[in-house]
Structure 1
Amino acid sequence: MKDLKKAEDLRVRLISWYADNARPLPWRETHDPYLIWISEIMLQQTQVATVIPYYLKFSKRFPTIKRLAEASLEEVLALWSGLGYYKRARQVKQSAEQIIKGFDGLIPRVHKDLLSLPGIGKYTAGAILSIAYDLNYPILDGNVMRVLSRVFAMDEVLNAKGVQNKLWSLAEKILPEKKAGMFNQALMELGALICLPSGKKSLCHDCPISKLCEAHQKDLVSQLPKLPEKREKVKIQQVMFLLLEKKGFLILQRPDDVLLKGMWELPGKEISDQPHQEAAYQILKEDFAVDGNPHYLSSLSHSITYRAITCHVYLIHVSGEVKKSLMNRLESRTLEYRWIQRDELQDLPHSSLIDKVMLLLDPVQKDLF
C-alpha cells in the first residue's frame, strides 16, 4: 500500500472500535460455520432487523446441517416465507445436501470448495472463512464498498469496469494478519452504523477512522460512493381473491416455470388498464368458472425486486354448484390447490403478500376462519 502506517492505523482503530460497539446479534454468539453461513445468506439484500427472527426460527428448526439436508424443500421454504429472494432458500437446501455427500457434513475450509456450492460467491466464502475459521480472506459487501470508497476517495462509479477488482484488492491489502474475521465484521459494522448511505447523514464525528478518511478530509462524503443508476420499478396491477367455503380458503401453488416457483398464493391475475372491479368479475368467470359478485375489500402495495405491485383484494363465498364449477375448472387447468384454514398457512411456503391480506382482514372479518 502507499501508506503502510495508514493501513495499520485503520486496523487498530477499527478493531478497537468494534470491540466496544458491536451490536449483540445472535449469529455473533457462535463460531459454528454452518450458522454463520446461514446468517450470511439471509443477510444478503436484507436488513438485520428483518433477518433476526428468521435466523432464530431457522436455527431452532435446523440446528445442524444434517437436519437441514434431511428436511423437505417445502419445509425450508415455509420457514423462509416473508424473507424474500427465495432462490436463496433453495440454494441453501441444495448446498446442505452437497456438503453432507461431498464434504462429510462439514462446511469446507477451502475457498474453491466453498465457491463450488450453490449460492456461495466470493463475498460469502470470505465471510465464512474469516469469521468462522479466522482465515485471511477479505470481504466486500455494500457496506464495505461504501467505507473503502470513502476512505480512499474513489470517484469511479461502483459498477464501472475494473472498480470491483480495485475494491477487492484494497480489502485484501488492509486485512490484518490476525483477527481477519473481527476486522471484516468491523468494516461491515462501520458501514451499517456510522458510514451511512448518501441519502442518510453519516456520523463522521463518531467515526473511529475519520482522520484517515480522504473523503472526510476533502468534504466528499456526501458524494461518494458513486452509484450506478437505479433500475426503474415496473408498476403492476393485479386482482387477488379470497375464495371462501366451510373448509377455509383456496390457495394455489405456483408452477416450476415462473418466478417464486413452488410457493403458495391466493388465486389472482395481473390486469392492464381495465378497471379492477370489472377485471375481477371477468377473471372469476373466465379463469375460475365462478359467476358471482365478489366483495371488494381493499387495495394494498407490495414489492418484489424491481416490481411495484398494487393488489386489489376481493372476497367471495363459494358453495354448492358454484364450488363444483370452480373445482372442475381447477382440475382442467391441472393446478395444484388446497383449501386451508388460516393457521395452516404458517406451515406452507408463501409470499408475504398473503400475510398482508390476512392483516387486512383482521379488523373487519374476524369470523371468516
Structure 2
Amino acid sequence: MSPIPNFSTRLIQWQKQHGRNHLPWQVKDPYSVWLSEIMLQQTQVATVLDYYPRFLNRFPNVGTLSDAAEDDVLSLWAGLGYYSRARNLHKAAKQVVGQFGGEFPQTRQELETLCGVGRSTAAAISAFAFNQRETILDGNVKRVLCRVFALDGNPQDKKFENRLWQLAESLMPSENHDMPAYTQGLMDLGATVCKRSNPLCRQCPMSDICEAKKQNRIAELPRKKTAAEVQTLPLYWLIVRDRQGRILLHKRPAKGIWGGLYCVPCFENLDGLHQAARNLNLDSDGLTEQAAFTHRLTHRLLMITPFTADERPSENFSDSLWVAQESLADYGLPKPLLNYLNQAQSSLF
C-alpha cells in the first residue's frame, strides 16, 4: 500500500499522543502565532520560550507593536540574532494595521505580502490560526519527506524543492480542522524524532513505511547543503566613558552586522577607530588595546579587539549618545558587547 493515504492520519494521531502540545503559542490568535513563527526562524524552541513571553507582555497585540519605536522592538530582540527579523516584524505590524485594518489576513497569499513572511511561514500561520489547508516546508519537514519517501536530490536545486512542495501538498489531510495538529506534527516529528543525527526511528510513526529506513539510507538522506565558507572579519570597538562614567553608543546601520542595534563605535580597520578617537578629541596614543576575542555568527567569525580610552573626552558631543552602565540593557546592545561590558566594567575603567 502506498504510504501517502496513511501519512496524515498517522502523523495527526502521533502528534496528539506524543507531540509538543503545551507550547505557549499553540493558540488561535494570529498575532501570537505570527510572532512565534518569526522568532522560530533559525532559532531553537528553547531560546524562543525565553523571549516570547517577554515580547508578548510588552507588545500584547499588533496595534501596540505597530505603535512602538523601532529601538524598543530591537532592545527586546537583542540576543535572538538575525535582527532583520525584528525590523521586518515591526514593518509587518504596520502593514497589518495600515493595509488590513488591524486584522491579520487569513490566506497564505495575503500573509506572504507581509514583510519577513515567506511561503512556509505564511502557511504555518494560516494553518494554525485559521485551519487553512496550506503546507509548510521548512528544514525539518524536508528531512522527514526525503527519508520517508527516499527522495534524493540537491537541496539547493529549485526543481527538487518544487518536487518537495508538490509532495507536501499531496499529503495534507482532507479536513481543515485537522490542519493545526498535522502542521504541528510535521514540526515535532522533524525536531524531536527524525533528527539530522541520531534519529529515533523506533519512536517514529512512519518507521514501517519509511523508504530510507528500508534502503538503509537514513544517514545519507537528505543530502547536505554545500557548507558556506566561514569568513573571519576583524572588528575594533572604541569603548569610551565621559566624565559622568557613561559609555558612548552609536546606532548601527540598518544593514550589516547587528543592524539597527546600539553599539560602541565599531570599525573594520584601525584607521577608522583612530579617526573616531580624534573626532572625540582623544589622543590615539592614549588608547589601550584589550585582549581580542571571537564571536561566531552564522557565516562569519568576528575577531573583536576592544580599545579603551585612558582619558575622558574634553567635551560632550550633541550627536553622541552617552548611557550609564546600569541602563545599557535598555538599548538593545549586541549580546557579545553587553556581556563584555558587564564582565569587564571593573577592570576596564
Q: Same fold (TM over 0.5)?
A: yes
Which of 224, 236, 241 is the matching residue for 2:238?
Answer: 241
TM-superposed deviation, 1:365: 3.6
Aligned to 2:329: 346
Aligned to 2:41: 44
The sequence identity of aligned pairs, in percent, is 33
Distance 1:9 1:313, change over 3 A: same
CA contact (8 A) 1:159 1:227 kept: no
Partner deviation per Cα, 1:285-339 (whole Å, 9 max, x = no partner): 43312224434443322133421101122333432xxx127x56xx7xxxx5311
Q: Give the residue type in structure 1 aligned to 2:308.
A: L
TM-superposed deviation, 1:162: 0.7
TM-superposed deviation, 1:172: 0.9
Aligned to 1:61: 58
Deviates more, 1:283-292 or 1:36-45: 283-292
For structure 2, the residue ranges without an aligned partner over 5 or more in a row are none
Distance 2:109 2:36 in 1: 20
CA contact (8 A) 1:39 1:55 kept: yes
Count of aligned residue pairs for this structure pair:
341
SS at match of 2:314: helix
TM-superposed deviation, 1:257: 6.0
Distance 2:112 2:274 in 1: 50
Aligned to 2:192: 193
Which of 296, 308, 313 is the matching residue for 1:315?
Answer: 308
Give the 4+ runs in structure 1 shifted more than 6 A. Answer: none
Distance 1:176 1:78, change over 3 A: same
TM-superposed deviation, 1:355: 2.1
TM-superposed deviation, 1:125: 1.0
Aligned to 1:228: 225
CA contact (8 A) 2:286 2:310 kept: no
Q: Give the residue type in structure 2 aligned to 1:302.
A: H
Aligned to 1:286: 275
Distance 1:121 1:206, change over 3 A: same
Aligned to 1:274: none
Aligned to 2:147: 150
Distance 2:324 2:296 in 1: 26
Partner deviation per Cα, 1:7-52 (whole Å, 9 max, x = no partner): 2322222222211222332212x21111000000111111111211
Distance 1:268 1:104 in 2: 41
TM-superposed deviation, 1:157: 1.1
Distance 1:361 1:244 in 2: 13
Distance 1:25 1:63 in 2: 17
Which of 108, 111, 127 is the matching residue for 1:130?
Answer: 127
TM-superposed deviation, 1:256: 4.8
SS at match of 1:119: coil
For structure 1, the residue ranges without an aligned partner over 5 or more in a row are 272-278
Q: Give the residue type in structure 1 aligned to 2:158.
A: K
Aligned to 1:276: none
SS at match of 1:196: coil
Aligned to 1:90: 87
Taking only aligned residues, the RMSD between alpha carbons, in angstroms, comes to 2.2
Aligned to 2:344: 361
Distance 1:116 1:284 in 2: 41
1:168 and 2:165 equivalent?
Answer: yes
Aligned to 1:301: 294
Distance 1:184 1:258 in 2: 34
TM-superposed deviation, 1:283: 5.6
Which of 2, 7, 11 is the matching residue for 1:10?
Answer: 7
Which of 250, 254, 258 is the matching residue for 2:248?
Answer: 250
Aligned to 2:320: 337
Distance 2:253 2:5 in 1: 54
Distance 1:217 1:72, change over 3 A: same
Aligned to 1:79: 76
Give the TM-score normalised by the residue count of structure 2: 0.91
Partner deviation per Cα, 1:130-156 (whole Å, 9 max, x = no partner): 111111110000000010011111111
Aligned to 1:219: 216
SS at match of 2:28: coil
Aligned to 1:324: 314
